[in-house]
Structure 1
């Protein structure tokens, strides 16, 4: 299976001046993607990636159980649809090629796990309403009857947030654009809001032909940031892990100085940068900015995030009452359970030996926010008990699980509340007016999905390098 590369025309490769340094803050998928696109320039700058924790990948994390089963503690699949999905697939293909692996149908089949359009995980999604599972309807008349519940559940399932507080324009731009174009969200979704140019390869064409709804990797989704780490290291990128930054200051001549916490060395006598790409959360960046950027810091500090607890459950000898991707839970049904993903349906290859039924229960919403506000002890036992009860009540899984993993992701999902897009406009205008050598990337701004984060990193690199967008 061949790969069709799309090189940038020579006249558009306006690369960063030689000898310059770009520091990327944050080693999640956005920061990794930004570093990847920077280093692939024909005359790349020196790139230094600084991550505060001791691992890369951010919320993407795969854990192998004692029986070989793979549990995703964060995102569990990537959507291949649209230009963003196609770019992510193409980037993965380039990894295989760069790392010396054979780019062939056999080689790719050993890595990529697709969920094709005729698979139950692609066709069936459910709502848990009135103590029962209901298939999400496809007809317009039925959709209208559940529109309020569906939007509430969608906001909870994607953003763990309140649909009355979130901005549809910022959270679901395709819905907003469809409504703007066709004066109706439903009509717009049926007719489409317009197509954008997409990259091409044999695998991308296969994904379209087979109508993939999502894909993962045989070793778990964390294989992707691990591959990026290997690639960047091989290309000379300095990756500094376990070294949080305490502040940023502007030096004479407009260069940045990256501040070190007391008693911690970033491995350089003085880490300076000609440009900074920030892929850390907006609220974190707001605390690092110097006084010259106080208006920007104030705007960024208002982009808050909520916590989500992820409980991975494994059951031996159990069966689900339905087959599908999973189900969402409206806030009126349970303020703490966001939904349950049927992991074994989409990716049975991750089930281990002997195969066990794998589920992921997502907890958050107003219930978790209330506990955090009260300063309650958020123990693993609390989340496990609530998750097991939800699995028993909503799916009939009465027996205790054979394996359980509990992880609380603090402040992990940004909230695009009403007025979010005005904040982004204000930030963009301030950076342009002050000519600050700073570019924003990451989930805090224009999308929380893996594809959105990867694209934000690519666009940040595009801006720094001076390459036209969509190249």
Structure 2
């Protein structure tokens, strides 16, 4: 979190930096409830606080902590370990939007940026057929054959321009890439990428919902190559603040914070408490939601909260179980959004143990379904190492769409088994013979929504039902419009703007 001067800067920023966001004039709402205190719910509450039209915001979080999957362990010796996202990208409108928020919260001095020239940005690896392979980069990497690929990638790119546009309104990522760039790229690179980003199976995930720029490039330009050169369609307009401008000037690839990414939700919650508009309630699980003449009655275990409007940042299935039976079509659509469970194992080793330097490596499902990838945390963010003595921090990610078949039910798998599987992977993949000096095992149940083919139609159907029935309800968070931190934050901003007519 920000230092002692952070509160003053945050207060000043609240009056100035984002005052342009909401300017329309409608009847002020007495109370808005935000369900869920993860980054989606906190970001939504942050944007609600920017509007003079909102009198009161009540945040209801079922657990004892705020921040959701943005979760950092900070040891007393200075070491920081991330259990969820560890780096946030500054690129695009959504990336600029998050940096604007970071600046407004007074966190600029806490940033740890990585530029595109950094070894962690340049070197990313695939583990295929028992070996580490550096992903091709630069012109030379495109022109020559680089294992594990059997031909230069430039050949695939060149032929892609001649591939006809699909008439389907959606298809799997694997199908899309196989059709346009060849099966080898789909089987190895894209399969690995989808496991790293979504912990999911590219043969089921929707290209339209998971990678909109690829889908739009084909639809609008007829080619991925032309889409990259000419643009693949309109994007949201987000004015760059000084921090976002700096990220562009210095060519940032991603960034973290000195005390870990959990500093972001912590700073938002500090801001909300200081606003005078917001009530933050932990251990406040929503039991059911009932319509009332003024909006909603939200039943908790120990009472009832009334609200004019609800922003739900709950997981889709959690919201479905709380809605009244009159919302059955919406309930069914929410229940159809699948999620996956990921085991995250943080490891610390004495000394420098890596045979290569880079961000980390991913595995295609054909190599080892159980292992999604290994992040070399000490390379991008050595500032998170302990202050005394050289160490190497790693994170092993396992399971995802393959969790059940590889490990069984999440509630049955032991930490010992997951730790052994993770340390074995480090030994086999990286040639590390020593044992970790510290470890922490986390099982994140149902942590990443899966956007299967047709996801966009499901989301459109849900929002159409809400609009048609004039429900005072907005859907935000990772279940609908993108799973990245930037996407989730921007979904909160977009929903608030739509409600207030900004």
Is 1:248 aligned to residue 282 of structure 2?
Answer: no
CA contact (8 A) 2:32 2:54 kept: no
State the match for 1:238 in structure 2: 279
**Residue 373 of structure 1: how far off its partner (Å):** 5.3
Could you say what secondary structure the match of 1:156 adopts?
A: helix
CA contact (8 A) 1:38 1:465 kept: no
Could you say what secondary structure the match of 1:87 adopts?
A: helix
Pick from 366, 370, 380 the counterpart of residue 346 of structure 1.
Answer: 380
State the match for 1:101 in structure 2: none
Tell me how far apart the structure 2 counterparts of residues 298 and 47 of structure 1 sit (CA, whole Å).
Answer: 28
Unaligned regions of 5+ residues in structure 2, if any? 1-8, 144-151, 157-183
Could you say what secondary structure the match of 1:176 adopts?
A: helix
**Residue 45 of structure 1: how far off its partner (Å):** 2.7
Pick from 210, 213, 223 the counterpart of residue 171 of structure 1.
Answer: 210
CA contact (8 A) 1:16 1:464 kept: no
Tell me how far apart the structure 1 counterparts of residues 377 and 317 of structure 2 sit (CA, whole Å).
Answer: 32
Q: What is the count of residue pairs matched by the alignment?
A: 447
Could you say what secondary structure the match of 2:63 adopts?
A: coil
CA contact (8 A) 1:414 1:443 kept: yes
State the match for 1:99 in structure 2: none
Q: Given the superposition, is the C-alpha separation of residues 204 and 374 from structure 1 closer, same or farther in structure 2, using an over 3 Å criterion?
A: closer
Could you say what secondary structure the match of 2:394 adopts?
A: strand
Is 1:118 aligned to residue 117 of structure 2?
Answer: yes
Q: Given the superposition, is the C-alpha separation of residues 319 and 220 from structure 1 closer, same or farther in structure 2, using an over 3 Å criterion?
A: same
Q: Given the superposition, is the C-alpha separation of residues 435 and 367 from structure 1 closer, same or farther in structure 2, using an over 3 Å criterion?
A: closer
Tell me how far apart the structure 2 counterparts of residues 213 and 22 of structure 1 sit (CA, whole Å).
Answer: 36
Could you say what secondary structure the match of 1:343 adopts?
A: coil
State the match for 1:459 in structure 2: 494
Tell me how far apart the structure 2 counterparts of residues 291 and 119 of structure 1 sit (CA, whole Å).
Answer: 53
User: What are the superposed Cα offsets for residues 110-147 of structure 1, whole Å, 9 maximum, x if unpaired?
Assistant: 41100011101111111111111112224274274534
Within 5 A, what are the aligned runs for 1:121-270? Answer: 121-138=120-137, 139=142, 141-142=152-153, 144=156, 145-194=184-233, 196=235, 197-236=237-276, 237-251=278-292, 253-261=293-301, 264-265=302-303, 270=304
Q: State the TM-score, normalized to the length of structure 2.
A: 0.85
Could you say what secondary structure the match of 1:49 adopts?
A: strand
Tell me how far apart the structure 2 counterparts of residues 42 and 398 of structure 1 sit (CA, whole Å).
Answer: 60
**Residue 187 of structure 1: how far off its partner (Å):** 4.2
User: What are the superposed Cα offsets for residues 232-284 of structure 1, whole Å, 9 maximum, x if unpaired?
Assistant: 01112001101101000001x251000123xx24xxxx410110000001111
State the match for 1:305 in structure 2: 339
Root-mean-square deviation over aligned CA pairs: 2.1
CA contact (8 A) 1:15 1:42 kept: no
**Residue 16 of structure 1: how far off its partner (Å):** 5.4
Tell me how far apart the structure 1 counterparts of residues 481 and 324 of structure 2 sit (CA, whole Å).
Answer: 24
State the match for 2:360 in structure 1: 326
Q: State the TM-score, normalized to the length of structure 1.
A: 0.90
CA contact (8 A) 2:29 2:308 kept: no
State the match for 1:102 in structure 2: none
CA contact (8 A) 1:38 1:45 kept: no
Could you say what secondary structure the match of 2:345 adopts?
A: strand
Is 1:46 aligned to residue 76 of structure 2?
Answer: no
